[in-house]
Amino acid sequence: MTYQTDLPGFRFHPTEEELLEFYLKHVVSGKRLQFDPIGTLNIYHHDPWELPGLARIGEREWYFFVPRDRKLGGGGRPNRTTKNGYWKATGSDKKIVRLSDPKQLIGLRKTLVFYSGRATRGSKTDWIMNEYRFPDNSPLSKDMVLCKIYRKATSLKVLEQRAAMEEEDAKHLQASSSPPASPFESISFCSQQEEMVPSVIPTHEVLKKEIVVAAMVDRTKEEKAVEPKFTYTPLQIPSELDKLDMDWSQDLFWSQLNSPWLQTLTPYMLNF
């Protein structure tokens, strides 16, 4: 049978004596409660920020029964390393006594802090754990401990520093992911002397015409410098055309078409 734990107004804030004398004692003694708000979980298989979602109940504090490694139960140091960090003990264990009899020791509390990263290089976080266990001389089993996970209260100054750092990181991320500037945004203004220099680039047609004109000028100069000598071979005109008495070599239009200067210029004109 399952029990609904999200009851309106319900709060679970047991004292340290209640955690040891009632909840942990029932578990190690094999007694099952009708309604047990604490579940059993190996918390070292998870990072602390995952634990609130795995707890049965809790808003600011989350409780778990954690089995201890049997081979380390006789005084060895347990492995408290997670996937992204490790739990490190701070100070010595604190003795927990019964309120009605302060001389009677009922358990020990170990305080641990979670560090992200690996040992000797980790960064301290605000995740805290209190581990409760029975004394070594207790007749009760030592195979199970009770852990309370919570986050340390952060001062306003630290919160402001974190907010400033997050805002700075967001600016750097936005600058690195911004699209490149458009060609219009990359136009640079020249100086007054540079503005006097024309920056018009001639088109393809203008370039071709300039090349043709230059070639014509060069050919004209060469023809003036050297007069070409032409030798004409008499044409063999058929007897049937003797009546026409036409001298093709003396025709003005034919001589212009056979001009060497025009023949040289013809390839440039055909490109147009």
Q: What is the DSSP string of 99-125?
A: SS-TTSEEEEEEEEEEEESSTTT-EEE
Check the CA dihedral 28-31-32-34 and report its sign: negative
62-84 pLDDT, tens digit per residue, is 999 999 865 544 556 778 999 99
Q: Would you state the pLDDT for residue 198? A: 47
User: What are the tokens at 55?
Assistant: 């707890």
203-247 pLDDT, tens digit per residue, is 555 555 666 566 676 666 666 555 555 454 555 545 544 444 455
Site of tokens 């302060």: 102
Residues 6+ apart with CB under 8 A from 223: 261
Burial class from Cβ neighbours inside 10 Å (0-12, 13-18, 19+) for residue 223 reads middle
User: What are the tokens at 202?
Assistant: 């001639």
What is d(CA 103, CA 96) in angstroms, rounded to the nearest whole number? 10
What is d(CA 217, CA 222) in angstroms, rounded to the nearest whole number? 9
Q: What pairing do the DSSP bridges indicate for beta strands 39-40 and 61-67?
A: parallel
Identity of residue 180: P
182-195 pLDDT, tens digit per residue, is 555 544 444 444 44
Give yes or no for a contact between 107 and 134, defined as CB atoms under 8 angstroms apart: yes
pLDDT > 90: what percent of the chain?
33
- The H or E element that residue 94 is part of is strand 94-97
121-134 pLDDT, tens digit per residue, is 889 999 999 999 99
- Rounded to 5 degrees, φ, ψ at 88 are -125, 130
Q: What is the DSSP string of 50-74?
A: GGGGTSSS-SSEEEEEEEPPGGGTT
- Rounded to 5 degrees, φ, ψ at 65 are -90, 125
What is d(CA 109, CA 126) in angstroms, rounded to the nearest whole number? 19
Q: Domains of the chain, with CATH numbers?
A: 16-153 (2.170.150.80), 202-234+246-270 (no CATH)
What is d(CA 60, CA 12) in angstroms, rounded to the nearest whole number? 10
Among candidates 96, 99, 158, which has minimal Cα distance to 125? Answer: 158
**Mean pLDDT over each residue of the chain, to the nearest integer:** 75
Instruction: Flag whether pLDDT at 28 surpasses 50.
Output: yes
Count Cα neighbours of 186 within 13 Å in the Cβ-side half-sphere.
4
pTM of the model: 0.55
What is d(CA 201, CA 87) in angstroms, rounded to the nearest whole number? 71
Helix (H, G, I), strand (E, B) or coil at 1: coil
Q: How many helices (H) and strands (E) does the chain have?
A: 7, 7
What is d(CA 27, CA 239) in angstroms, rounded to the nearest whole number? 138
